[in-house]
Amino acid sequence: MKRDDWKDNEYIDQLVEELNASGANVVVGTLDKLINWGRANSLWPLCFGTSCCAIEFMHLGAARHDMARFGFEVTRNSPRQADLLMVNGTITYRMAPVLMRLYEQMAEPKYVIATGSCNISGGPFIGSHCVVQGLDKLLPVDVWIPGCPPRPEAMYYGMMQLQRKIMTQKYFGGVNRQEKLKDFLAEHPEEAEGLK
């Protein structure tokens, strides 16, 4: 059939334009979408819970908020089996080296979700000398979930936002975490000094 006989040329032109812009051929682009679909719908979270946000995270596994429906069901206790670090609760400077060690033990590509106002800005402990004033000072954060503590619905929304982010990434030649922890700490030398 000739090109003019098709009715959805705009869609095909847009698809080809996107693939050409990213330098991927049709096979690699299709494999990208397939792999990202599988990765986004089978996230294995490692919960680093320290306070009330961790209790709200526990609600996700209950019958009312069944997280198996969304593909988050397999929570891991080992960082070597997890690909999502979900930090729930207040992080003190004393806990920071342990949290960073857990992050470093996770396999690439890995993601971080900061849950609650304590992780985002220090929360009610803002200005405190012992509480980290934002998780982004320690680790590269992918999704922020505000609230004190956030409801389970908000946690689902944040985790689904991470799924959307994963689905739009290029797995071949792109995503395997461009920003390594050493690069991050090189850009933030004051945080590296504070953790020694």
3-state secondary structure the chain: CCHHHCCCHHHHHHHHHHHHHHCCCHHHHHHHHHHHHHHHCCCCEEEEECCHHHHHHHHCCCCCCCHHHHCCCCCECCHHHCCEEEEECCCECCCHHHHHHHHHHCCCCCEEEEECHHHHHCHHHCCCCCECCCHHHCCCCCEEECCCCCCHHHHHHHHHHHHHHHHCCCCCCCCCCCCCHHHHHHHCHHHHHHCC
Tell me the per-residue pLDDT of 80-107, one tens digit each, with 9 for 90 and over: 888 888 888 888 888 888 888 889 888 8
Q: Is the pLDDT of residue 175 over 60?
A: no
Could you tell me the domains of the chain?
Answer: 44-163+178-194 (3.40.50.12280)
pLDDT of 74 above 70: yes
Q: What is the pLDDT of residues 18-65, one digit of tens each?
A: 656 666 566 666 777 787 787 787 788 888 888 887 778 877 777 677
